Structure 1
Amino acid sequence: MFIALERKIKVFLIIIIIMAALINSLTVNLTIRKNIYDHSVQLSQQHIKQQNQNLRLNMNLIEETSRLISENPVIKESLETTDFSDKVIPLLDSLRASNLNILGVTVYGSNGILYLSSNTYNAPKFEKVKDNFHFLNKLAEKNSYWMVRTKDIPSFYNYNSVSKTGIFTCAICIKNNHGESLGYLFVDTNINSIYDFYKPDDSGMFYNKSSIYIITSDKKTLTSPYNPPLGIGLQLADINMIPPFMDSSYTIEKNRKSIITYYPIPNSSDTVVIVTPLDLNSQLGTLITVLLVLGFSFVLVSFLLIKILSKSIIYPLTRLYESMQK
């Protein structure tokens, strides 16, 4: 008698339970994803900004130490004459020894004289340096300038002691007491010292898979030796396309799987680029599995409750109908 009614009650309650479970699971999933996504972007930027500051402090240390050498009276006196001074090289060696990241030191005199630290070989002529780098205008505005040099690197130093991709040079203008230029001090540092600040480690959820690049002033893209393989759909062309106008220092990759952060190196025309993965499907796999198990368990328990509830409604009605029949 009441079989059709029991079936309708079960179907009605099952539809309500399933819809509620789906809506609840979808809402929870989207909310968690959005919160984690937003916090991941924020935390990655905080992490990178801290490394930017560390890089800047390291550059300042090398720059200030180099400036002390450039202002040494022995250096200035040696550049005011064409006579070679034996006192200069020990000063350059002391500068090189002051920091493990310094590969070598070169002094170009306006009078044509050249001084090299003990481990530096075959330094290019100053005319060649001027042709390759537009740093003289920068040095006219400031007394120092940083630049990535990528040409003829093996001839500068022992090939095993320097990165094959380039060197990071601090150029300082040496001036006399009247403010006239006497020459230039070049302090070459290992370009890997830049990558070291951003290299992947186990410090965070996403940072251990980050990739680091340097875009030079002549639009070359240098790759860190610590980089994992590029993600699917992300090419070097995507990294090299720095937005001309940006409200922030980062952009989200078109597939929303990576955040690309741009950091123009201070007092330089080069840019550090950090690509941080934001693939939440792989990072949140365990959480999604737990939510699915909970949702499935909720539906099963609901089916049992529906069966009990429908019987508690139909059974009294059946007994009442039978008693009326009698």
Structure 2
Amino acid sequence: MKKIQIGQSDIVSSQIALGCMRMADLGVNKASEVIETAIDSGINFFDHADIYGSGQSEIIFSQALKNSDISRDDLIIQSKCGIRDGFYDFSKDHIIHSVEGILERLDTDYLDILALHRPDALIEPTEVAEAFYQLKKSGKVNYFGVSNFSTSHVDLLQQALFDKLVVNQLQFGLKHAGMVAHNMNVNMENETGINRDGAVLDHMRMKNITIQAWSPFQYGYFDGVFIDHPDFIKLNNSLEKLAQKYHVTKNGIAIAWISRHPANIQTIIGTMNTGRIKEVTDASDVVLTRQEWYELYQAAGFNLL
């Protein structure tokens, strides 16, 4: 599998990561199988959040690791914090307390990356900076990032930090590609031309912050999966044609479309199905041609002018 450097860090990671949100639904033995399959398939990056399964996903993950021969040193572990019951909280005390809980549940001494989960309207950048500095100095977190942040949110926070942010998690895929589409509809009076994110894709590239694509198979906001969906026949036909050409599956081609973008986007897949992990990673070496990339883009419903 292709390896990428994560932001301005020394982390070299698999371009595909495993999101562990659904791991709380597994038993320890099944979770061990999932982790081992991911590792055997070339994945070394695992994404968590303190709210996944109300913390149970992290507990199952740590128990599953103990149940395997996998070393913590061979893994890149990221977790996120900041979402509470009914509100967001980026206060210094909450960030530090959250990390202590994450480390306890994961049974590890450190996180490779800590990301702030969703923008807190009441954020005090200097307070976040103090929390990050304390966590870095104590060896509990090596690098920091954000999730679902706009360009202005990133810049507001970055100006107060001692360390460079290295990741920004954003929803992205064939049916959620607005941050690509609006760039090709500049100054057009149409729906696609509306810039809703402050040109976040270009901005992250300029700042050398790795975009992590979440929910790559979803259309809308958790409305469903577009693979084999009867409402997206044209897209699925295009995916199937390329799947046959490259001897992989439609799921694999959908991820290859993301990986083909020159931003070196890291895709987070959230499946706990070992067969699905294999079929996606089996396509990790597929490099779509420029024509194929645009064919899928248009089949997904985006027009070229």
Task: Specify the structure having the higher radius of gyration (Cα).
Answer: 1
Please give the TM-score of this superposition, normalised by the length of structure 1: 0.24
More helix by share: 1
